[in-house]
Structure 1
């Protein structure tokens, strides 16, 4: 029997990404975007669903009578009702380790831009400040080296470790944070509270879970150095956005670089959009994962996961 595969949000891949063929008989239906209200109709005859960011709820799972497998075209699986999948014997796979270069590189692009005040200097040159200064350079914004500074990393997976490797090449001291409220993870970890208090830069690389929601909020910003920079290329919701806005406008930290936010895209009047008007905040549109090489690797792995499932040897399962 021909397998029906439905990709609900193919537009999350840019043009030029190849979806490789697998050695099975299948029909692949590609939808650029899918609204929540259209999901049930589009997956009603699906044996396999591919989704990047479209939520798959219990209602959808129960309505898709043929559904056997969900291939998440990402690492995070918070968009899937895993309990409902378990209840209905539906397996779920994700993509792992495809972004081991692109996310750390983006992380350091944000770090370097903020530590060296690249955006405000560029804007000031465009505004004529260089001519106004009357000399070969000017010092309106603070610049700091990375060498000798302390980088606190929250999340010790592949991405966190890759960020640490780059940091060491810059001559930085690296602290891996233990879980919040837990100090007995061994000598390779530093208590969360110490990482928050002692880091010059904090970079987040952990998943969004119940235990990590609002992991950094008002109390944590009170403990940070005024010279600290906060980077988040993981998930929106790990940092409380109202607390971050408060910290930036009250100079409790030096700056922040985010690639993620709670609502994507954010509402025009949201705190995160207000922060984009500040010279010490950088927001990129969830693209740290999105080098061409990384997305092609992700696409290949996504289809490999489907082929492995159809061959009776599923891999990269999350349930």
Structure 2
């Protein structure tokens, strides 16, 4: 029996997709608007999505759909309750960004901790040319060795970030949270992590309990020399509170790879922040060439495993 597999937002994945291990009619769409989902998935057994929302009102019009393969780790775009109730299997990607996201986080950390953007601006403005000595020291430069790295989210990416931090000689703290928790991890109360950390890096999923986890009260608990790094989800941080924290000097700087709404077609306050202690990148921390190919390969593996009756990486009870 040939199954129909439809990738709704293929342009989000810059990698080669290998053939499936079962007879398949495979269809790709570069991108898909919400109003196009039902027509494009008509008769489909498997939907592949990255950021295309699959809500109950859409899913209810797709009675033949049996599986949703998410081309990402985060699956908040899928109505899991509906999928569980109606027997639609949902699988996500595991451990594909364990190197690329931590490396991106540390690129931001190093740039901010050593004030590289400020120094680059000064060089471009001709400050070095006018210096009376071989260098000029107009901005503080902080080492990572001996500093404290607070991590919220102890999954594979959080653990990868911790490994790099330890290699720099940093003390690593993992913030405590409700279950489920990673085994064999020593947890520290969140308020203590906020108060003690020189760098705080977010690596947790966006859930009702974590939305706006970092609000103005959290910023007020942080060190004035602290950096906040978010390569996870935009909704984890109250963006207005972040701007206030930067304006009032509650923290020393921030590096973000995510926004609450992506792409920010209607604008976003963080797009207007023009200061050397804030870095904003367009959700690319995950997107190294190696990570994307790993993702594409596992995406096919997930679908093949489900089709063979041995599903893997499910986030639903349906198989």
For the aligned pair, the TM-score class normalised by the smaller chain equals: over 0.9
Between 117-126 and 221-230, the greater mean CA deviation after superposition: 117-126
Contact 1:107 1:233 in 2 (8 A): yes
- Normalised by the size of structure 1, how large is the TM-score? 0.95
Instruction: State how far apart, in whole Å, the 2-side matches of 1:267 and 1:26 are.
Output: 36
Which of 278, 282, 287 pairs up with 2:279? 282
The root-mean-square deviation of aligned C-alpha atoms, in Å, is 1.4
- CA distance, structure 1, for counterparts of residue 93 and residue 73 of structure 2: 5
Alignment of 1:172-183 (within 5 A): 172-179=170-177
**How many Å apart are 1:135 and its aligned residue?**
2.8
Structure 2 equivalent of residue 8 of structure 1: 8
- Residue 71 of structure 1 corresponds to 69
Secondary structure of the equivalent of 1:306? helix
Structure 2: any 5+ residue segments left out of the alignment? none
Contact 1:93–1:317 under 8 Å retained in 2? yes
Gaps of 5+ in 1: none
Matched, 1:200 2:193: no
Post-superposition CA distance 1:230-280 (Å, at most 9, x none) = 0011111101100000000111100000111101122564221122x1111
The answer as to whether partners of 1:10 and 1:31 remain within 8 angstroms in 2 is yes
Q: Distance in 1 between matches of 2:108 and 2:174?
A: 19
Match of residue 318 from structure 1: 315
Partner residue, 1:291:
288
* Structure 2 residue aligned with 1:258: 256
TM superposition score normalised by structure 2: 0.95
- Residues 120-170 of structure 1, C-alpha deviations (whole Å, 9 max, x = no match): 211221221211224321112211000010100101111111111111111
Compared with structure 1, are the counterparts of its residues 41 and 236 closer, same or farther at alpha carbon in structure 2 (3 Å cutoff)? same
What's the offset of the Cα at 1:92? 0.3
Q: Secondary structure of 1:244's partner?
A: helix
Q: Matched residues in 1 for 2:265 and 2:307: separation?
A: 40
Q: How many residue pairs align between the two structures?
A: 312
The CA distance in 1 between the partners of 2:123 and 2:44, in whole Å, is: 55
Q: 1:187 to 1:91 in 2, by over 3 A?
A: closer
Pair 267,32 (structure 1): closer, same or farther in 2 beyond 3 Å: closer
For residue 223 of structure 1, what is the aligned residue in structure 2?
221
Q: SS at the partner of 1:70? A: strand
